[in-house]
């Protein structure tokens, strides 16, 4: 049966239904980050790891647009779907400076006191590695040299730390100092004068953590990371007391895959033909991102949604006017 889309039936605030027949429908309902069943289905291998973690996207984004499109025969992006992750830990809600400081590619250890990744990988990737760790969190560990070392890490986008800035962006050293104080006060960060003492406060096995730090210092002095391949400029020793650790946990912001569309933003069926009158934009639409959000293209997700929204509206209006 050939399907087309000519309108919607929507439930209003007063629980009454309204039918709108405009000749075209644009789906702009975002991702399905708030829908556990869809996360399990379309993010295989990842879905269950997201249970009991904070989903930072809108809870109202439950994939309704995806489902409505599927009901009228739309074709879905192939698996696995793309996601946007974020290392928005507890420090994020406390203070922007604590969050930025924790995001530098310092030594990362898990709850077992072990290093497990190249901390300098894009945050979408490190977040996935964090998610698979016991307790789904990590400690970001550094020493009191951080005000000199962090600005040299050369982070991009919202990771960059500036030594001094007359108009502080959120990543200047003074803002980070304030943030660290706040995180220590609230127990999101811990500090100690010895590595053993730090391990105790982090509640990680002391001997393992001491070995991890010793190995990391050895690599930093060597200027090479044969263990995980981190850029030598991001290898900094942990030897000058006091020592610090900030607790970090990964969060899913949004899902980025959806129903396939053509260049007019018309939704396609599984024969690759457009479903007349049905358009999709932003995170309910597919074919744009693969696997993970590319952090080196700033704002590309919002940019896609705005741009597609504009063109979908133009195309849908042209169709509706033609029909009128
Ligand atoms: C904390 C955070 C930080 C981000 N930072 C960046 C960034 O720096 N750069 C970037 O490019 N992107 C960023 N993103 C991602 C970006 O915000 C999204 O990709 C973008 O907003 C998607 O736009 P959209 O229009 O597709 O969906 P959304 O903006 O999610 O809008 C969908 C809307 O549809 C509504 N809706 C859903 N179902 C229904 C229904 N059945 N009936 C009626 N309404 C419904 C929802 O309530 C929502 O208002 C961030 C996301 C988050 C959560």
> 312: Cβ below 6 Å to ligand 1?
no
Atom of ligand 1 nearest to the CA of 62: 38
Report the separation in Å between the CA atom of 282 and the middle of ligand 1, taken as the mean of its atom positions. 8
User: Can you tell me the mean pLDDT for 45-53?
Assistant: 81
pLDDT digits (tens, 9 = 90+) for 264-276: 999 999 999 999 9
Domain shared by 70 and 99, yes or no: no
Domain shared by 109 and 147, yes or no: yes
Domain shared by 112 and 187, yes or no: yes
Q: Is residue 293 part of a domain?
A: yes
Q: What is the CATH number of the domain that holds 215?
A: 3.90.700.10
> 30: Cβ below 6 Å to ligand 1?
yes
Domain shared by 142 and 282, yes or no: no
Give percent of the chain above pLDDT 90: 72
Q: Is residue 294 part of a domain?
A: yes
Domain shared by 166 and 210, yes or no: yes
50, 303 contact by CB (below 8 A): no
**Looking at residue 223, what is its pLDDT?**
96
Which residue among 224, 249, 274 closes a domain?
A: 249
Domain shared by 72 and 12, yes or no: yes
Report the separation in Å between the CA atom of 29 and the middle of ligand 1, taken as the mean of its atom positions. 8
Query: CA-CA distances (angstroms) from residue 58 to 55, 90, 124, 128?
Result: 8, 18, 19, 20
Token pair of 26, please? 């644009």
Domain shared by 68 and 97, yes or no: no
pLDDT digits (tens, 9 = 90+) for 169-205: 678 999 999 999 999 999 999 999 999 999 999 999 9
Indicate the pLDDT class of residue 258, thresholds 50, 70 and 90.
very high
> 206: Cβ below 6 Å to ligand 1?
no
Domain shared by 68 and 150, yes or no: no
Domain that holds residue 188: 88-249
Q: How many independent structural domains does the chain possess?
A: 2
Q: Is residue 18 part of a domain?
A: yes
Q: What is the CATH number of the domain that holds 310?
A: 3.50.50.60
**Looking at residue 177, what is its pLDDT?**
94
* Sheet-wide strand order for 266-268: 25-27, 274-280, 266-268
Q: Is residue 295 part of a domain?
A: yes
Q: What is the mean pLDDT of the chain?
A: 92
Which residue among 232, 249, 266 closes a domain?
A: 249
Q: Is residue 2 part of a domain?
A: no
Using CA positions, which residue lies closest to atom 29 of ligand 1?
Answer: 30
Answer yes or no: is pLDDT of 77 > 90.
Answer: yes
SS3 category, 74: strand
**Looking at residue 1, what is its pLDDT?**
60
Atom of ligand 1 nearest to the CA of 61: 37
> Ligand 1: which of 26, 27, 61 to mutate, most ligand atoms within 8 Å of CB?
61
**Looking at residue 196, what is its pLDDT?**
98
Q: Is residue 221 part of a domain?
A: yes
Indicate the pLDDT class of residue 283, thresholds 50, 70 and 90.
very high
Token pair of 103, please? 């995001």
Domain shared by 262 and 222, yes or no: no
Indicate the pLDDT class of residue 168, thresholds 50, 70 and 90.
low
Domain shared by 69 and 178, yes or no: no
Q: E strands within the chain? A: 7-11, 17-21, 25-27, 83-86, 107-109, 138-143, 189-192, 243-248, 251-255, 266-268, 274-280
Q: Which of 291, 251, 254, 33 is nearest to 131 (CA)?
A: 251
Which residue among 227, 249, 271 closes a domain?
A: 249
Domain shared by 101 and 221, yes or no: yes
Answer yes or no: is pLDDT of 30 > 70.
Answer: yes
Indicate the pLDDT class of residue 4, thresholds 50, 70 and 90.
confident
Domain shared by 130 and 175, yes or no: yes
Q: Is residue 190 part of a domain?
A: yes
Indicate the pLDDT class of residue 135, thresholds 50, 70 and 90.
very high
Q: Is residue 200 part of a domain?
A: yes
């Amino acid at each position: 049966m050939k399907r087309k889309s000519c309108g919607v039936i929507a439930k209003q605030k007063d629980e009454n239904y309204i039918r709108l027949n405009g000749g075209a429908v644009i789906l702009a309902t975002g991702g399905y980050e708030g829908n556990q069943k869809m996360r399990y289905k379309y993010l295989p291998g990842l879905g269950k790891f997201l249970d009991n973690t904070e989903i930072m996207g809108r809870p109202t984004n439950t994939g309704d647009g995806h489902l409505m499109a599927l009901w009228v025969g739309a074709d879905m992006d192939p698996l696995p779907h793309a996601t946007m992750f974020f290392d928005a830990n507890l420090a994020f809600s406390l203070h922007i400076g604590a969050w930025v400081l924790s995001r530098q590619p310092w030594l990362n250890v898990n709850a077992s006191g072990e290093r497990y990744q190249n901390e300098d990988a894009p945050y979408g990737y490190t977040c996935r590695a964090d998610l698979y760790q016991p307790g789904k969190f990590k400690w970001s560990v550094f020493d009191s040299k951080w005000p000199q070392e962090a600005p040299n890490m050369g982070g991009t986008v919202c990771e960059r730390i500036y030594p001094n800035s007359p108009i502080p962006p959120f990543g200047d050293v003074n803002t980070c100092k304030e943030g660290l104080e706040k995180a220590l006060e609230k127990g999101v960060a811990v500090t100690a004068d010895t590595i053993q003492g730090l391990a105790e406060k982090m509640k990680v096995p002391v001997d393992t953590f001491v070995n991890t730090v010793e190995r990391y210092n050895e690599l930093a002095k060597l200027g090479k990371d044969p263990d995980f391949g981190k850029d030598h400029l991001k290898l900094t020793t942990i030897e000058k007391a006091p020592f610090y650790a900030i607790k970090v946990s990964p969060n899913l912001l949004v899902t980025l895959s959806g129903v396939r569309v053509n260049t007019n933003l018309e939704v396609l069926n599984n024969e690759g033909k457009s479903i007349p009158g049905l358009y999709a934009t932003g995170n309910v639409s597919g074919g744009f991102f693969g696997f993970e959000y590319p952090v080196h293209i700033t704002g590309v997700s919002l940019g896609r949604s705005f741009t597609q929204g504009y063109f979908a509206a133009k195309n849908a209006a042209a169709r509706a006017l033609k029909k009128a």
